[in-house]
């Protein structure tokens, strides 16, 4: 059985998916302080990576680590939104889901710091 929400196919599906993605990015930027901060950091870090990276691989690793932080932040924000949609009551499983999402963001930030440090100092 297919979802009734997946009615488009082909290029029309790609076009719809693009619009949904842009809606998601706009919603995250408007409603999530951490994502907004990461966007501004990325706007600085990406040109710095292009300037400081000695090779295409180094630049790709530096930029990729920054983008990974943003991807994980989007997923964390989605998890938090779903948990809050289900219930605003305090529940151990809600806390666990939010804490694990937060831990994922922390790991992505740690990864970015290690990548940048190794490439710039090593």
- pLDDT per residue as tens digits for the range 25-76: 999 999 999 999 999 999 999 999 999 999 999 999 999 999 999 999 999 9
- 3 annotated as a binding-site residue: no
Find the CATH number of the domain harbouring 98: 1.10.287.3610
Per the structure, the complete domain to which residue 108 belongs is given by: 33-121
Known catalytic residues? 73
In a domain, 117, yes or no: yes
Instruction: Check whether 82 has a pLDDT greater than 80.
Output: yes
Residue 64 forms part of a structural domain = yes
Burial class (CB in 10 A: 0-12, 13-18, 19+), 28: buried
* Model confidence pLDDT, tens digit, residues 1-16: 666 666 667 888 899 9
Calpha distance 65→24 (Å, rounded): 21
Residue pair 83/94 in contact (Cβ under 8 Å)? The answer is yes
Query: CA 55, CA 53: separation in Å to the nearest integer?
Result: 6
Is 29 annotated for ligand binding?
Answer: no
State how far the Cα of 54 lies from the Cα of 37, in Å rounded to an integer: 27
For residue 106, tell me if it sits in a domain. Answer: yes
85 is in an annotated binding site: no
Domain contains 79: yes
Q: Note the pLDDT of residue 4.
A: 66
């Amino acid at each position: 059985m297919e979802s009734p929400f997946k009615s488009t196919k082909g290029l029309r599906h790609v076009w719809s998916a693009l619009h949904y993605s842009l809606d998601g990015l706009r919603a995250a930027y408007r409603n999530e302080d951490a994502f907004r901060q990461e966007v501004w950091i990325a706007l600085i870090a990406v040109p710095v990576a292009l300037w400081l990276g000695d090779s295409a691989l180094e630049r790709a690793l530096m930029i990729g680590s920054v983008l990974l932080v943003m991807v994980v932040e989007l997923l964390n924000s989605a998890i938090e939104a779903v948990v809050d949609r289900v219930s605003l009551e305090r529940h151990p499983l809600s806390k666990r889901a939010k804490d694990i999402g937060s831990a994922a963001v922390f790991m992505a930030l740690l990864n970015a710091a290690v990548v940048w440090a190794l490439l710039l100092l090593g």
